[in-house]
């Protein structure tokens, strides 16, 4: 019988109140229910060493963050890498030894993943959101590097097709259709009564994270226009969002002269977990349900309604309106469709497929503007279009609304239900080949020799070939490296033999800097005791200073053998210290504390490792597997 494939699925934690979190929860449950796979979750935003998440999921789950002390001592760019799991994912890969890695995040979360030794040696899949034209350059750079490349909307797939890529396909984020459905009219009336809403008022809804790409000012302008033209509608605008982040909505209401009572929002109690729909009156309100003090706030990603409650909130609405500058999928649109609401959606980005007649949607017109810095095309939704289409829905008879509502729900089920998406994902996984990757090979160097893949090559083929066969990097005609070298060779009339020499020098320099230290080969049978590593690559003065402190370190840890890593020319300054067990040659890999001490259940070769040369505090020197006495440092 064929062994089950082991899947490592890497994204937001499956219980996070985010679009990635919801999708991950749905697909994990689906794949787990098939009993075809060994499933392991990698959860961004949670500590790897604490590893408490496995206790709350039916499958093993590892956080992808290094300890908080490590993150605090990183530069901002490395903190971003750590936040997406880039510093710990190798350890998880080595522990899990997956057949399939599936990363589900924004594309920048996978920066430099293609340089990891396991990348594409096992089956690697990236499932990402892309929302604007021109397509993000990093997403284009990764096109030849990702064999299994999926996007959340056909908008992005079509843009890639125009660039000549046919392996990049659409796989929508998944929805649990059982959570969202139309309630009976009696139940809908009851919900309105409970929230002090007139049964005949026309409620326009928008469910969103209060981000600047959600077009709140445009919606308010469109709402004001609609209300002025249709005062008999007694309309209300329901903004299901946090009022403590993003847009200053109160300021907009004042500027635009909109009555506060016409804008209603969702309050959620942290104590009793009940919600209320009412006009905004500030945060930290007293809850009238449980009478607790200052526990009532507008819904947010930390404390918010559950799916059953959110379904009720959609059922309070008469129409759903989603104006935005761009988006990867915008899950609330499909949730609204599942409750049989007509959806008004900006006709750009992922909105293109959500505002068609066959989707039960209505397109909102927009004008182009460019995002500063990125120069992405963004949509400014027309308030006039919002007002006109709200009026169109308001004037529809009940039968027409119901007909379109049914179309909306069926379209969402056919294209976004977890059963549909799960089956597609299952087919993708099952079609992936077996691999023979040796997970003990956690580092792969560049090649220091070059043999062309064929005798006769064009310049373009040559540039792609040397990247592949020296730097182990897949590029194509759209890659920035390809364009750079093509222009440089042509404009500067560089001989291709010189280009090869240049690439081989890059390879040698890279390999010398990144030589993997095989600790097991450094230790003899006599070296089996507890070990401390002191890393001090240079110079004479620093080695002298460390030499004077080793005795104090040995006094703190009398049963440990102390190893000093430095460049060989400095051995003579410290190797005669009676408290130094051995001097060993320094390598840049020693800068990674996890490589020395291990992480989580993966034990390292040293119980403690110190990096006193890092005066910039690039590395922490006081975690040490919880062993350091009284936060000992070499300078105490």
**Residue 159 to residue 151: CA distance in whole angstroms:** 11
The tokens describing 11, both together, are 């994204």
Asked if pLDDT for residue 75 goes beyond 90, the answer is: no
| CATH code where residue 54 lies | 3.40.50.11930
3-state secondary structure of 491: helix
Let me know if residue 374 belongs to a domain. Answer: yes
| CATH code where residue 220 lies | 3.40.50.2000
Are 166 and 277 members of one domain? no
**Residue 100 to residue 97: CA distance in whole angstroms:** 9
Let me know if residue 626 belongs to a domain. Answer: yes
**Nearest residue to 130 via CA among 158, 111, 164, 102:** 158
3-state secondary structure of 417: strand
Let me know if residue 445 belongs to a domain. Answer: no
- Average confidence (pLDDT) over 105-120: 94
Asked if pLDDT for residue 82 goes beyond 70, the answer is: yes
| CATH code where residue 533 lies | 3.40.50
**Nearest residue to 340 via CA among 391, 403, 414:** 403
Asked if pLDDT for residue 630 goes beyond 50, the answer is: no
For residue 470, the number of C-alpha atoms closer than 13 Å in the C-beta half-sphere is 23
Are 52 and 201 members of one domain? no
**In angstroms, what CA-CA distances link 481 with 159, 231, 460, 477, 478?**
21, 60, 11, 9, 9
pLDDT at position 584 is 87
Q: Which of 587 and 465 is assigned the larger pLDDT? A: 465
Are 496 and 547 members of one domain? no
Asked if pLDDT for residue 530 goes beyond 90, the answer is: no
Are 229 and 257 members of one domain? yes
pTM of the model: 0.80
| Pair 382, 361: CB distance under 8 Å | no
Are 507 and 621 members of one domain? no
**Residue 383 to residue 547: CA distance in whole angstroms:** 72
Band of residue 1 on the pLDDT scale cut at 50, 70, 90: very low
| Pair 130, 143: CB distance under 8 Å | no
Are 269 and 243 members of one domain? yes
Are 568 and 598 members of one domain? yes
- Average confidence (pLDDT) over 212-226: 98
Let me know if residue 60 belongs to a domain. Answer: yes
| Pair 558, 581: CB distance under 8 Å | no
Are 571 and 535 members of one domain? yes
Are 563 and 470 members of one domain? no
Are 25 and 77 members of one domain? yes
Q: Tell me which residue range forms the domain holding 300.
A: 178-411
Q: How many CB atoms lie within 10 A of CB 608?
A: 26
What's the domain count of the chain? 4
**Nearest residue to 189 via CA among 180, 181, 198:** 198
Are 168 and 69 members of one domain? yes
Asked if pLDDT for residue 579 goes beyond 80, the answer is: yes
Asked if pLDDT for residue 221 goes beyond 90, the answer is: yes
pLDDT at position 516 is 59
pLDDT at position 351 is 98
Q: How many CB atoms lie within 10 A of CB 4?
A: 12
pLDDT at position 616 is 38
- Average confidence (pLDDT) over 426-449: 87
Are 395 and 370 members of one domain? yes
Let me know if residue 453 belongs to a domain. Answer: no
pLDDT at position 453 is 84
- Average confidence (pLDDT) over 342-360: 97
pLDDT at position 604 is 75
Of 278-292, 467-481, 516-530, 621-635, give the lowest mean pLDDT range. 621-635
Question: Could you tell me which residues are beta bridge partners of residue 203?
Answer: 236
Q: What is the dihedral of CA 596, 599, 605, 608, to 10 degrees?
A: 60
Let me know if residue 399 belongs to a domain. Answer: yes
Mean pLDDT, all residues of the chain: 91
- Average confidence (pLDDT) over 86-94: 93
| Pair 601, 54: CB distance under 8 Å | no
Band of residue 526 on the pLDDT scale cut at 50, 70, 90: low
Percentage of the chain beyond pLDDT 90 is: 74
pLDDT at position 512 is 72
């Amino acid at each position: 019988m064929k062994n089950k494939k082991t899947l490592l699925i890497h994204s937001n934690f499956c219980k996070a109140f985010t679009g990635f979190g919801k999708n991950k929860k749905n697909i994990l449950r689906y794949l787990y229910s098939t009993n075809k796979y060994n499933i392991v979750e990698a959860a961004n935003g949670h500590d790897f060493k604490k590893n408490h998440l496995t206790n709350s999921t039916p499958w093993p789950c590892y956080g992808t963050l290094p300890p908080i002390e490590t993150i605090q001592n990183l530069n901002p760019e490395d903190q971003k890498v750590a936040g997406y799991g880039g510093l710990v994912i190798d350890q998880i890969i080595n522990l899990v030894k997956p057949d399939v890695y599936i990363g589900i995040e924004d594309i920048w979360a996978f920066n430099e993943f293609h340089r990891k030794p396991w990348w594409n040696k096992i089956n690697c899949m990236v499932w990402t959101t892309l929302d604007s034209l021109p397509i993000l350059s990093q997403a284009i750079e990764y096109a030849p590097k990702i064999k299994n490349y999926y996007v959340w909307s056909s908008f992005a797939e079509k843009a890639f097709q125009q660039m000549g890529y046919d392996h990049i396909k659409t796989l929508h984020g998944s929805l649990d259709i059982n959570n969202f459905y139309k309630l009976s009219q009696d139940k809908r009336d009851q919900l309105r009564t409970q929230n002090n809403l007139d049964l005949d008022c026309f409620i326009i809804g928008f469910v969103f994270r209060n981000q600047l790409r959600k077009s709140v000012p445009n919606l308010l302008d469109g709402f004001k226009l609609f209300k002025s033209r249709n005062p008999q509608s007694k309309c209300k605008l329901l903004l299901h969002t946090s009022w403590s982040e993003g847009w200053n909505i109160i300021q907009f209401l004042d500027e635009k002269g909109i009555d506060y009572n016409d804008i209603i929002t969702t309050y959620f109690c942290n104590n009793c977990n009940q919600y209320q729909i009412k006009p905004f009156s500030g945060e930290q309100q007293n809850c009238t349900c449980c009478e607790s003090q200052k526990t009532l706030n507008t819904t947010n990603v930390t404390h918010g309604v559950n799916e059953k409650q959110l379904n009720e909130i959609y059922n309070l609405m008469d129409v759903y309106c989603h104006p935005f500058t761009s988006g990867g999928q915008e899950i609330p649109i499909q949730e609204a469709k599942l409750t049989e609401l007509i959806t008004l959606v900006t006709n750009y980005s992922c909105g293109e497929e959500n505002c068609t007649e066959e989707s039960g949607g209505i397109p909102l017109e927009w004008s182009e503007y460019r995002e500063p810095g990125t120069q992405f095309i963004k949509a400014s939704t027309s308030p006039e279009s919002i007002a006109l289409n709200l009026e169109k829905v308001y004037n529809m008879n009940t039968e027409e609304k119901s007909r379109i509502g049914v179309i909306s729900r069926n379209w969402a089920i056919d294209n976004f239900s977890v059963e549909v998406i799960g089956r597609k994902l299952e087919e993708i996984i099952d079609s992936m080949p077996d691999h023979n990757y040796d997970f003990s090979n956690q580092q792969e160097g560049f090649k220091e020799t070059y043999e062309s893949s064929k005798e006769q090559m064009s310049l373009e083929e040559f540039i792609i070939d040397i990247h592949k066969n020296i730097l182990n990097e897949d590029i194509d005609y759209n890659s920035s490296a390809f364009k750079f070298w093509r222009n440089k060779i042509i404009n500067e009339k560089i001989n291709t033999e010189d280009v090869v020499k240049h690439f081989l020098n890059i390879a040698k320099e890279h390999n010398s800097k990144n030589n993997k230290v095989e600790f097991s080969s450094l230790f003899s049978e006599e070296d089996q005791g507890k070990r401390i590593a002191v890393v001090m690559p240079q110079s004479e003065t620093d080695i002298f200073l460390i030499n004077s402190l080793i005795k104090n370190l040995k006094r703190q840890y009398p049963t440990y053998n102390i190893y000093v890593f430095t460049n060989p020319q400095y051995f003579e300054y410290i190797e005669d210290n009676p408290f130094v067990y051995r001097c060993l040659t320094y390598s840049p890999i020693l800068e990674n504390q996890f490589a020395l001490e291990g992480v989580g259940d993966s034990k390292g070769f040293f119980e403690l490792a110190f990096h006193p040369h890092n005066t910039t505090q690039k590395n922490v020197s006081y975690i040490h597997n919880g062993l350091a006495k009284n936060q000992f440092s070499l300078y105490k």
